[in-house]
Amino acid sequence: MKTGPKDGEISAGVLERLFAVIDGRRGTDPSESYTSQLLAEGTDRIAQKLGEEAVETVIAGTKGDRAAVISESADLLYHLLVLWAASGIAPDEVWAELARREGRSGLDEKNSRSRSTVKEADMAYDDDNVFAKIIRGELPCNKIHENDHALSFHDIAPQAPVHGLVIPKGRYISMADFAANASADEQAGLFRAVGEAAKALGLVESGYRVISNHGRHAHQEVMHLHFHIMGGRPLGPMLEGGPMPPSHRD
């Protein structure tokens, strides 16, 4: 790996200077800059943009496109800093947490965390959900693409002229569950499948939207992680709302 003198210090300094500029945009006129607009729209919108940039970075990585990984990583870091600013988190707080973890193996760190969230997610997973049945071959699907870790197929109730679904083959409820517990191969396989499905659907040139709903407020109806890929026409800046699904705790 190519590094320069005091490379880590230079990187941290760049991030801190960028954060100071971003933080200074809070409360300013949203028409003045993209950063001001994002901050005015709130953490939900910022988190959505951060997730989109994370997906683009992973797709670039799975394609082995070094230049794209660098570019998408810069976008990802920028949106992460915007989220910090909107959440009132200073870079020093993150540096301190990284320093606390320094010297600890990833497995030790993971094992030291509470297992309650993972346990609850595992208890809530329904092996009879429709996607689990499709993975087991108990229900048919109009397949788009498949690899060792993910499956994509056409949505039977399309919300756009082109509407596909991509699901991991493992028992994961949400992106939070998947990010915490899926292996590196599973994560790469899933995001590679998103890119391959979009390509197979002929959406790469015209553009498309990738959506993953998490929880009741996001209208998640099947408790198995899934990504919607939609395109085939201009989709507009936001999706329209709809009736809330029933609570899964009722």
Evaluate the CA torsion angle 158, 164, 165, 169 in order and state its sign.
positive
Q: In DSSP terms, which residues pair with 165 in a beta bridge?
A: 153, 228
Burial class (CB in 10 A: 0-12, 13-18, 19+), 42: exposed
Give the span between the Cα atoms of 207 and 56, in whole angstroms.
13
Q: Which amino acid is at 60?
A: A
The pairs formed by 90-93 with CB atoms below 8 angstroms and a separation of 24 or more are: 90/19, 91/12, 91/15, 91/16, 91/19
Give catalytic residues, as residue numbers.
226
Written as one string, the DSSP assignment of 207-230 is -EEEE---SGGGT--SSS--EEEE
